[in-house]
Amino acid sequence: MKLYLPILLLMTWLSAIPVAAQDISTIATQKPFAVSGALDMRLIGYQSKGIPARRSPLSWVISGSPTISLYGIRIPVSFTFSEQERSFSQPFNQFGLSPTYKWATLHAGYRNISFSPYTLAGHTMLGAGIELNPGKLRFGLMTGRLNRAITVDTTTGAIRPYSFSRFGTAVKLGYGTERNYFDLSFLQAKDREKDFNINPDSARIRPAANAVLGTSFKISVLKNFQVFGDGGISVFTRDSRSDLEVEIDSSRKFLRSVSDVLKVNGTTEYYTAYNAGAGYTGKYFTLKLIYKYVDPNFQSMGAYFFQDDVKNLTLNPSFNALKGKLRFAGSIGIQMDNVKKQKNATTSRVIGLANLSWDISDRLGLDANYANYTSNAEPTVALVENRYLLAQTNSNISVTPRLILPGKKMTQVLILSYNMSSLKDLNKDTLQAANILSQVIFLNHNLTINSLGLNISSGLNYTSNELAAGNIRNYSANLGFSKAFFKNKLAISTSNSYIMTKPIQGDGRILNLGGNLAYIPMKGHRVALRINAMNNSLTYADREPLQYSELTGELGYTFNF
What distance in Å separates the CA atoms of residue 277 and residue 263, rounded to the nearest whole number?
Answer: 34
Cβ–Cβ under 8 Å, residues 336 and 311: yes
For residue 14, pLDDT over 70 is answered with: no
Q: What is the mean pLDDT of residues 12-32?
A: 57
Cβ–Cβ under 8 Å, residues 417 and 396: no
What percent of the chain has pLDDT above 70?
84
Q: With residue 432 as reference, give the H or E element that holds it.
A: helix 431-434
What distance in Å separates the CA atoms of residue 532 and residue 210, rounded to the nearest whole number?
Answer: 56
Cβ–Cβ under 8 Å, residues 551 and 47: yes
State the pLDDT at residue 477: 98
State the pLDDT at residue 425: 67
Give the start-end residues of each E strand in 380-505: 391-405, 410-425, 436-449, 454-467, 470-485, 490-502
State the pLDDT at residue 258: 82
Range in 58-62, 86-90, 278-282, 490-494 with the lowest mean pLDDT: 86-90
CA distances to 13, 75, 83, 90, 153 from 87, in Å: 21, 18, 12, 10, 17
For residue 501, pLDDT over 50 is answered with: yes
Model confidence pLDDT, tens digit, residues 184-221: 999 999 998 776 666 656 657 789 999 999 999 999 99
Query: Taking every pair of C-alpha atoms in the chain, what is the biggest distance, in angstroms?
Result: 83
For residue 458, pLDDT over 80 is answered with: yes
Model confidence pLDDT, tens digit, residues 303-342: 998 889 999 999 999 999 999 999 999 999 998 988 988 8
What distance in Å separates the CA atoms of residue 416 and residue 441, rounded to the nearest whole number?
Answer: 8
What distance in Å separates the CA atoms of residue 6 and residue 70, rounded to the nearest whole number?
Answer: 12
State the pLDDT at residue 196: 62
For residue 428, pLDDT over 70 is answered with: no
Neighbours of 291 (CB within 10 A): 15
Q: With residue 213 as reference, give the H or E element that holds it.
A: strand 209-221
Q: Of 31-40, 144-153, 258-267, give the range with the top mean pLDDT.
A: 31-40
Model confidence pLDDT, tens digit, residues 439-448: 999 999 999 9
Model confidence pLDDT, tens digit, residues 85-118: 555 555 445 677 788 888 999 999 889 999 999 9
Q: Which of 212, 142, 216 is nearest to 178 (CA)?
A: 216
Pick the more confident residue, 347 or 491.
491
Pick the more confident residue, 402 or 11.
402
DSSP 34: E
State the pLDDT at residue 372: 86
Query: How sure is the predictor about 1, in pLDDT bands with cuts at 50, 70 and 90?
Result: very low
